[in-house]
Amino acid sequence: MFATRQISSIAKRAFSTSTSSNAAKVAVLGAAGGIGQPLSLLLKQSSLISHLSLYDIVNTPGVAADLSHINSNSKVSGHVPDNNGLKEALTGCDIVVIPAGVPRKPGMTRDDLFNTNASIVRDLATACAEHCPKAHILVIANPVNSTVPIVAEVFKKAGVFDPKRLFGVTTLDVVRASRFVSEVKKVTTEEAKITVIGGHSGVTIVPLLSQSGHSFTEEEVKALTHRIQFGGDEVVKAKNGTGSATLSMAFAGARFTNSLLEATVAGKKNVVEPTFVKSEIFAKEGVEFFATNVELGPNGVEKIHPIGQVNAYEQGLIDAAVPELKGNIAKGKAFIVKA
Ligand SMILES: NC(=O)c1ccc[n+]([C@@H]2O[C@H](COP(=O)([O-])OP(=O)(O)OC[C@H]3O[C@@H](n4cnc5c(N)ncnc54)[C@H](O)[C@@H]3O)[C@@H](O)[C@H]2O)c1
Ligand SMILES: O=C(O)C[C@H](O)C(=O)O
């Protein structure tokens, strides 16, 4: 009893209270986890964040206390479920990033996480729809191809869905693609900007190497494509049962969040990031969400870039991705619509 009360009072405490009006309240849900902690550390460095609100079912008071000693200007608060912790974490939020959920172990697909993560994401989305219906929602929790439709359906049910403000975070795929291509072509990562479209799992991850400006042998294309599509498996295998990518994901999640902050808070123009959003590109094929490069603006999605020119090999990859994506999206949607 004493311990619970003590945790609650610490949990509600906000630290380092300097704020700026030209900055946003950003919540990280799952903030005490493998991604959540380094992501929160990276976001603590942003001058475009006035309040970093950390929520998890455990341990956020400690994470918040620790981060609050960093002398950047944002306030940090830590919240757990006690005493309306989720409501407090979310109220007034401009951006909510969701890495809450279980990660893969070797031998699992991302879809194998659905049974656990679908309800976690549904419940967090329900709270967002109630307490910060206008916030931009950035979904990291896997399987992204299904969890993004879950958030959409929850927001639709609550009558607050704005497709311009819902993003599946696929940034790690382009981060990996850039790194892997830079190694093969012996160029800097700035010289290896790779467009990746589709979704975020296996064959739904479609790198468009032909648009990179580099030339590749057929073997290089096949090897790079496979490595980009299954890069997550490399990390899962190397971590040997202790989780999946956390540090590179924190880097990628911070990159996307910072780009959105630049577009929404700082008014920067021509901010483009790849992301899995509601899109017309394959809507006729029944694919409601699709990742392409997206221009971000003050209200979130400003302009969805077309796929552009692809070669026959890439067209084959797209043809394999579309039916898989359709099934993943339908599964997420059905989880809410029939509930
Ligand atoms: N989109 C991507 O590119 C990408 C990349 C890497 C990992 N992921 C996914 O991100 C998720 C998290 O990975 P991780 O390595 O950080 O896992 P983790 O287990 O280290 O951390 C997850 C955190 O979520 C918390 N949590 C669980 N249920 C919660 C709830 N209802 N409310 C709030 N918090 C809750 C846990 O307490 C834990 O701290 C996984 O689903 C993983 O597959 C996605
Ligand atoms: O591979 C995973 O399960 C985590 C993540 O989706 C990744 O791409 O690293």
Q: What are 25-53's pLDDT values in tens digits?
A: 999 999 999 999 999 999 999 999 999 99
Residue 8 pLDDT > 60: no
Check if 131 is active-site.
no
29 lines ligand 1 (CB under 6 A): yes
Q: Indicate if the pLDDT at residue 2 is higher than 50.
A: no
Q: What is the ipTM of this complex?
A: 0.99
Measured CA to CA in angstroms, residue 196 lies from 132, 208, 210, 213, 224 at distances of 31, 6, 11, 14, 12
pLDDT tens-digit series, residues 231-280: 999 999 999 999 999 999 999 999 999 999 999 999 999 999 999 999 99
pLDDT, residue 11, reads 43
Rg (C-alpha) for the chain, rounded Å, is 19
Residue 99 CB less than 6 A away from ligand 1: yes
* Closest-approaching ligand to the CA atom of 167: 1
pLDDT digits (tens, 9 = 90+) for 92-117: 999 999 999 999 999 999 999 999 99
Residue 317, pLDDT > 90, answer yes
- For residue 271, what are the CA distances in angstroms to 47, 85, 124, 258, 263? 18, 33, 28, 10, 6
**Per-residue tokens: 95:** 């951006």
- Whether pLDDT at 6 is above 50: no
Neighbours of 214 (CB within 10 A): 16
The two beta strands, 195-198 and 95-98, are: unpaired
Å from CA of 296 to ligand 2 middle:
24
Ligand 2 proximity of 104 Cβ (cutoff 6 Å): yes
The torsion defined by the Cα of 136, 137, 140 and 141, in degrees rounded to 10, comes to 170
Percent of the residues in the chain that have a pLDDT greater than 90, as a whole number: 93
Does 117 sit in the ligand 1 pocket, CB within 6 Å?
Answer: yes
What pLDDT score does 21 carry? 55
Would you call the peptide bond into 143 cis, given omega within 30 degrees of 0 as the criterion?
A: yes
Distance 232 CA to ligand 2 centre (A): 4
The candidate with the shortest Cα–Cα distance to 97, out of 66, 52, 131, is: 52
The pLDDT value recorded for residue 35 is 99
Which of 104, 204, 251 should be mutated for ligand 2, with most atoms under 8 A from CB? 104
